[in-house]
Structure 1
Amino acid sequence: NFLNALKFIADTALLTEFNPPPPQPVPRVGLYEWKEEKKELLPIQPQVGILFYRAHYLSGNTQVIDALCNALIEKNLQPVPVFVSSLREPGVSDKLCEWFTDEDGVNISLLMNTTSFSLAQLETEIPQIELWEKLDVPVLQVILCASSIEQWESESQGLTPRDIAINVALPEVDGRIISRAVSFKTLQTRNHKLETDIVVYEPLSDRIEFVTQLAANWVRLRVKMPSERQVALILANYPNTNGRLANGVGLDSPASCVEILKALKLAGYEVGNIPETGEELIQILTSGVTNDPEGKDWKPINQSLSAAEYEKYFATLPANIQQEIIERWGAVETIENWAISGIKFGNIFVGIQPSRGYDLDPSLNYHAPDLEPTHNYLAFYHWLRESLAADAIIHLGKHGNLEWLPGKSVALSNNCYPEIALGPMPHLYPFIVNDPGEGSQAKRRAQAVIIDHLTPPMTRAQLYGGLQQVENLIDEYYEAESLDPSRLPIISDR
């Protein structure tokens, strides 16, 4: 259209004879044909939708979309990039569902969304837009950052308040999975005569790799048979004593863990012989090595990571990260194995989250923003990712300590410790409903899907259970002393 417009002007002003055709309308919703790097794909591959604004398509500002598509192709996923003017336009939802469904009626397996704002709205006479419900797939919120890469690298906040509002906070209302910023604004050219800057979104390769690998892992989890899935259920433990094991706030974590294991069994997961009660689960866990210093030298170790494997992994971390950990905790210990606290039930591992290090140095704070994780901490999560080969991790109950590790508040880099520990792992997090502030840390810093649970039911602050029975017996005893002393021996025996 632009070229034909120039030809039209030339015909009108310069009396040339280009005779351009009439302008061609650009659809409000359309399939984008990206600059594909040729790669042989198997005949049938899971499809991943990519949603971006039509304005980027019209301006040719699509480098980041091309990069996402090519990275998905490398992971044997078929990208379906679609541009859209606005998700709120009438008819857009139905049109998108058409693009994201193939001729066999098979939907995409996941959607990577780069558009801003939220579809959710207050209950009014205007009907809700049910795009996400119709697609019924995980939706990754992929952030196109409005700042420069230099600003992002230097700021601990990660994003500007504007970016957080429209690209993180509002999309969270839709339940989208917050991933990473994959591109940043950069000056492409400047026209000095017009005093105009041409600014484009420039993709950052390692962020593209992280987000597309996260997408690939969610797709793998979706297509894998339940009986083949490896899942890690991680229980919080603060302070690091067995008496505080599985201490989720407002949640009976041991009993909940058992109920989840039972639900997984009914869903077809391989869970082996699972305990019947939360008390039995705690007995099994505490019979082996835990975070509690008592018993570490003589309790059995159910699984471990070899020191050689950990050293090999540690050497792959960025040089500055290695230096920070060594300065805080010293060089890698010369031990044979790193103990991994927990127990396997079939393909499900129930583990105990390691300490960040405050138990080693009491002056340190649980929420300290500059407290690097210990070698043992990194060994634990490396074992989950590589040795267990977990397809998903569930942190059960508020709150663990992964989301409080040092790094940016949002739009993390490869130098941020939550990403170093967890990697691009599907992450689910049952969390108490009345603390969205702390839950948002897990969503923004550890790509968590928060599954809210209710607060415990309110009751009167009084004695209950066995203590109530003791109080009743004491009252009965003192009453019998004056009215019927012959009953005293019977009451005493009770």
Structure 2
Amino acid sequence: MIQEIRKFALVLPIAMTSLVHVDSKKLRNFLMFGGTTWRESIPDRKFYPVSVGCRSDRRQKRRDSSIAEGSGSADVSSFFPDQKEKKEWEHSRQGLSLSEFLVQMMLPELDGSIEMLPVAALSARDYDEELQLHIKELQLIEEGAQRLVSRVRRYLELQTKPPAEKRIAIIGYNYPPGEGHLLQASFLDIFESVSRIMKAMKQHGYMTETYSGTELRERFIQEGVVNPGIWTDERGSDS
């Protein structure tokens, strides 16, 4: 996986024997302010931490994510499914169990990680007659590894892509859930907030139209720019 990333980026492997006793201040200074040759060779000092394996210490995970946040980068994470062997994982319709989902995906995401992808799983290698147990080793999950490499490549491309060429999706939620609460939230004017975001984006070079909060509301409700049928007339439902 590292060799694939090296085809389009510099890679600095950092291995740790323990996540609990890592000095985050020293790591931050080394990555962001060290002034070393490898650091100076990276334009604008941009980098993407890519972590592999389990993160059991949430406090350490938050400190690791803060390093990425402080550098304007993303903490791209990955994990090893630990309750299924590779063959079982590849043929499983369920995927992660509930406990695995909470530990391997939800908690890291809350701490700032993105792209939680399975990249390797245990596989039986030999059977030890003396110990009467199967010796297992980690084997690459090709699909997950290739997807992680592809995502890292695309994130790096975004760093140099002009804003006018970027495509941005703004997601608004209905609260409480239901068609009658379109883009509503407690104590927030979502339409006006989206309007201001679009205006700020246009000022920074993004190719977007600008609308007032009232105009956005009319476009969504009166012009039927939504999926639910109760907001659309017959022409809107046909399209």
Give the TM-score range, shorter chain: 0.7 to 0.9
User: How far 1:103 moved relative to its partner?
Assistant: 3.8
How many Å separate the matches in 1 of 2:185 and 2:147? Answer: 30
Q: 1:117 aligns with which of 53, 56, 77?
A: 56
How many Å separate the matches in 2 of 1:109 and 1:185? Answer: 30
3-state SS, counterpart of residue 13 of structure 2: strand
* Partner AA of 2:2 in structure 1: C
CA change 1:117–1:263 in 2 (3 A) is farther
TM (norm. structure 1) is: 0.39
Q: 2:77 aligns with which of 131, 135, 141?
A: 141
User: How far 1:158 moved relative to its partner?
Assistant: 0.5
* Equivalence for 1:228: 165
User: 1:6-405 to 2 correspondence within 5 Å?
Assistant: 68-73=1-6, 76-87=8-19, 88-90=21-23, 93=27, 97=31, 101-104=38-41, 106=43, 107-115=45-53, 116-118=55-57, 120=59, 131-133=67-69, 135-147=71-83, 148-152=85-89, 153-154=91-92, 156=94, 158-159=96-97, 161=99, 163-164=100-101, 167-168=104-105, 170-172=107-109, 174-236=111-173, 239-240=178-179, 244-248=181-185, 251-272=188-209, 274-276=210-212, 278-285=213-220, 286-293=222-229, 295-299=232-236, 339=239
How many Å separate the matches in 2 of 1:160 and 1:235? Answer: 27
* Partner AA of 2:59 in structure 1: A
How many Å separate the matches in 1 of 2:123 and 2:37? Answer: 31
User: How far 1:142 moved relative to its partner?
Assistant: 0.5
How many Å separate the matches in 1 of 2:15 and 2:74? Answer: 19
Q: Output one character per residue of 1:226-285: Cα deviation in whole Å (capped at 9) or x when no partner.
A: 232121224446644xx543234664221221121122223332223x112x22112133
Task: Tell whether the 8 Å contact from 1:119 to 1:174 is kept in structure 2 after alignment.
Answer: yes
CA change 1:108–1:275 in 2 (3 A) is closer
CA change 1:173–1:254 in 2 (3 A) is closer
User: 1:416-435 to 2 correspondence within 5 Å?
Assistant: none
* Partner AA of 1:89 in structure 2: V
Return the structure number with greater helix share. Answer: 2
Identity of aligned residues (%): 18
TM (norm. structure 2) is: 0.72
How many Å separate the matches in 1 of 2:235 and 2:110? Answer: 49
User: How far 1:203 moved relative to its partner?
Assistant: 1.4
How many Å separate the matches in 1 of 2:41 and 2:92? Answer: 48
CA change 1:169–1:92 in 2 (3 A) is farther
Highest Rg: 1 or 2? 1
How many Å separate the matches in 2 of 1:169 and 1:175? Answer: 10
RMSD, aligned α-carbons: 3.6
* Matched pairs, number: 223
Return the structure number with greater strand share. Answer: 1
3-state SS, counterpart of residue 50 of structure 2: strand
Task: Tell whether the 8 Å contact from 1:71 to 1:208 is kept in structure 2 after alignment.
Answer: no
User: How far 1:187 moved relative to its partner?
Assistant: 0.9
How many Å separate the matches in 2 of 1:298 and 1:258? Answer: 27
CA change 1:186–1:249 in 2 (3 A) is farther
